[in-house]
Each structure stands twice: as structure tokens, then as C-alpha cells.
A and B are shown apart, each in its own frame.
Chain A
Amino acid sequence: MHRRTCLLALAGLPLTRLLAADEPAAESTAREVVFAPVLPGRTLVFPDDEGAHPEFRTEWWYVTGWLDLPDGRPLGFQVTFFRVRTGIGEDNPSAFAPRQLILAHAAIADPELGRLRHDQRAARSGFGRAGFSTGRAGVWLGDWSFEQIGDGYRARVDAEDFGYDLAFLPDGPPLLNGQEGFSLKAPGRDNASYYYSRPQLTVEGRLTLDGHRQSVAGRAWMDHEWSSAYIPEGADGWDWVGLNLDDGGAIMAFRMRRTDGGKLWASATLRSPDGSAEHLSLEAVEFEPLRSWKSPRTGIEYPVEWRLSLGTRRFTLRPLMDDQELESRRSTGTIYWEGAMRLLENGREIGRGYLEMTGYGERIQVG
């Protein structure tokens, strides 16, 4: 859902605001392309729904998590693969026809560096250069990939100054967000996605930083979401968290912000250690900024510490480091904040996860 921001960053210069289109790019296609709608009542089937849904406009597989280096130092990491159906060239017999694009983005939050390392790629699917699988998770772009391996997943990234090859093993079945995987983004029924999460993924693998390779282990979170809708009317940006609790529980929460900063929509899913899930709706979810950090690069102020209220529980979110801003002005002009967070309750750390904040600079032109 929310993290379509990355699309902007990833799409490369000509694709700026790709997804902001409120109707298909006109005249370039011979006939109107019909994207599959997101409707309530569909039952998600696994592993089939782990795979791609190319008839929908957008889709992503989004992994975030914490890693421990052999010396015990913590790092945050993130890797995302997007699939975009452009509506262009649907009837073009060319193997290059840009019907489906794959975009990928990866980052490492390293407190020792004090800012993010990140890299991005984009390609049209085809020629073995980029593609996706249906029926099971599988999406790749050059030598970057995310795929289903047995019960778990594997992500491989080889970027300019970092790289990793990580295996993820879930502790239970997928966690369906919203109404059994039908996730609303705004009042009404028009803005929705299919959305499930895989919290509490055990991570093992290798990480390369500046050419130095080491073994790492940690915990991660995977989101898979697909939709044909755009950003809801009146929304200016969003805040999203995915958190793994030390007791085995998990929290997913997001809110869509209005232009005046108020809450347009919010939703959360809580999983208890025994695996039972509870869905919280609009009224029960509150995001409250506690402390702000101003980016020296962009001058944008981000709330980097939050009070998160879910029903009666009060949590505090603190960043692994303040500067986890993603600044790709040079290529796309898109700026947002996405970083590793600690979750505290009653002053005690009870879990870790990721926070994404968009739309703090200018109105985000995305989903």
C-alpha cells in the first residue's frame, strides 16, 4: 500500500510520478486498458497469492528488518520489488513492449555511517533481464531477486557499496491485514488493496559492506500488496510501521494523512504470540509525533519519535538513527524517510521494526 513512494525513486527519471496518473496515459494505447479491481470478499489463497498478479496496476514485495553483525552491532535493511502494469503496449508484439515494469530498491541503515546506503534499479520485464512469477513469490531484476524457497524466502541484492544474500523463515502462516486481506485506504470502498504480511521472519545470510563480507542474522518483516487504485483523494502522505515484538507478536499500523495533518484513514493489525490476529480500525489507531529531526540535506522536518496508540496500549517508537532520509532528488526528486525503529512500552524495548513516512516535504504525488 503506502510504500509506493519508492516507485518514484526507483522508476528513473522519465517515470517520475508514474503512479500519480489518475487515468491511463491517453492516446498511446490503442484501446482502454482495464485493470483488475480490488473487491472485498476475495479469499487469499497461499502459496498462489504469494506470486504476482499482473492484471493489477501495482504490486510489491517489501522486506524490512534488523540484522546483527558478528560483533553484535545492529543494522537496518530494506529491499523492495515493485511490479507496475503501465497499460502501454498491451497489443504490441515486441518483446520490449513495456507492459510490465520491475523496479527495485534496497537500503542499509548503518549507525556507524550515520545515513542510509541505498541503490535502485528499474527495467521492463522480459529477456530474462527482469520478471516475476505467478503462483509463488518470485521477482527479479538483473542479479537482484526475491523468491520463495520452500516455506521461506530469499533476497539477493548486489549494489554499488553494499550487497546481501538473506534467507527468511516465517514462524507461522501469513498475517492478513484489513478484512481478511482486503485493506481499505480511505473511507468508502474505492481505495483498497489486497495486503498480507509475513512478520517474525528469521533472517540468516551474508552481508557485504564496502567489499567486506560477513555473516549476519536477525528478524525481518515482509509485506505483499497489490492494487489498481491510486492515492486517495485528500491524502497528503502516510505513516506506516511494521514491528516484530520480542514476545513473538507483531504490529502493522498505518494512517493516511490529510493536507491539514489530520487523519484521513488508519488501520492496524495486531498479532499475539499465539498467532491470533486482531484488526483495529480508524478510531483505535493514533500516531502522535514526539520529536522531530531536520534533514541537513533537504531542510525537511520529520517526526522521528512517535507515540503510537493502538486501542488501549501506548507505545513509543525511537529510530535506530535520526538520519534515515531517502533523498533521490538528483534522479527523481522524491524524498521520504524510511528507517529502522525500536518499539518501547513503558520505557522498555519490546520489539523492533520499520517506519515509513512520506509527504513531509511536498504533497507526495504517489499512491
Chain B
Amino acid sequence: MLEISDLQRRFDGRPVLRSVSMRLEPGEYVAITGESGVGKSTLLNLIAGLDRPDGGRLALDGADYGDLDEDSLTRLRRDKLGFVFQAFHILPHLTLRQNVVLPLWLKGRKGPQADREADRLLDAVGLADRADSWPRELSGGEMQRVAIARALVHAPRLILADEPTGNLDPSNAAKVLTLLAERIRASGAMGILVTHSPEAARSADRVLHLTPEGLSA
């Protein structure tokens, strides 16, 4: 369960987020949309623990993490969060399996067991037969499928997807969105999809709009 209440963030004294509140039940997948500059990325960074709020509360499964130190936040991200980025961030010098298994490596898990987990996820995104390929052989859609597998491999509690289809053509975008939603639901984790595209937002269970006043359905 993710609880956000009265979250505030200012940059150079200028308020970017005034008061944002939301609640995400286990297994729930929401999309957040909004105009450019309204603070979508700021909110996502706060939820991801990459930034710290100036006020309000952030709690994952009942544990506050709004004012944790950097090391604790790093641990939180490593253990409980999964990420899907617009720019994929697939490491070019690792094979697909290695890219997917990376979060497990960060948790100190290495070996056949970890590789099997990665292979299971690669299978789930339809790339099982290419586990030993290199990223340069992939299309953008395939890259993002690898990224989805990577976001889920360590069984995180919360998946954060930031414009995951921003670099993809429409047909690929649709497939990736469907896959993302399907995998998040299958894993039982919560999911937050940040996008400026209403079409993309529809792939989530519900859609929230971020405005300067806050989040609304």
C-alpha cells in the first residue's frame, strides 16, 4: 500500500507541488497524467526516493520514507521499487539476461537461480529465445520489453513507469503498454504510469490528473 498525503515540493522557493495526496492499494495500477511542467516528474522522483519532499507524508506498506537518508532510500529503491524509463537505459555491454538480472545482482544475488528468474521474466515479455543477445540487435519496443522484465525481476512492491512509450512508434507503444499492465497485474505489485498521453493512460486501472492544485480523478 502506498500512501501519499499533502506532499509538497519547492524549487528555489517556487512551489512545484503544493499539496498532493493519493493512496494506492496493493495490486492497483494507476496512471498519472498532466500538462507539461505541472510536476509529474517531480512527483515521480519523490515517490521513487530520488528526491525528498519539503512537506507531507510518503509511506510504502505503512513505512514512512519521506525523510530517510540517502542510503536507506537507495536500499528502498533496490528492494521495493521497479523502474521503466522512457530512454530504456539498457546497458549496451550486457546481454539481455544480464540486463534483466541486474537488480538481483544489486541485491547480491548471482548465479543460476538468479539467471532462471531473469529467463522467466524474459519469457513473460516474449524474449526468452534472445536471452544471450546483445541490446544493439533490439528494436525500441524490444528494449522496453527488456526494461519491463528488469523492473519486475526482483519482485518489487511498486513499479514506476515514466513515459515508457515516449520513444516508441504507436503500434509498438500499444503493445508495450499492454504488456506492462499485464505484467504488473500478474506480479501483484502496485504500478504508477506517468504519461502525458491520455491514450496510454487508459491502459491503467484508473487515471489521475495532476494539476497545480493536486491530484484528481
Q: Do chains A and B make direct contact within the complex (CB under 8 angstroms)?
A: no
Chain B residues in contact with chain A, CB under 8 A? none
Chain A residues in contact with chain B, CB under 8 A? none
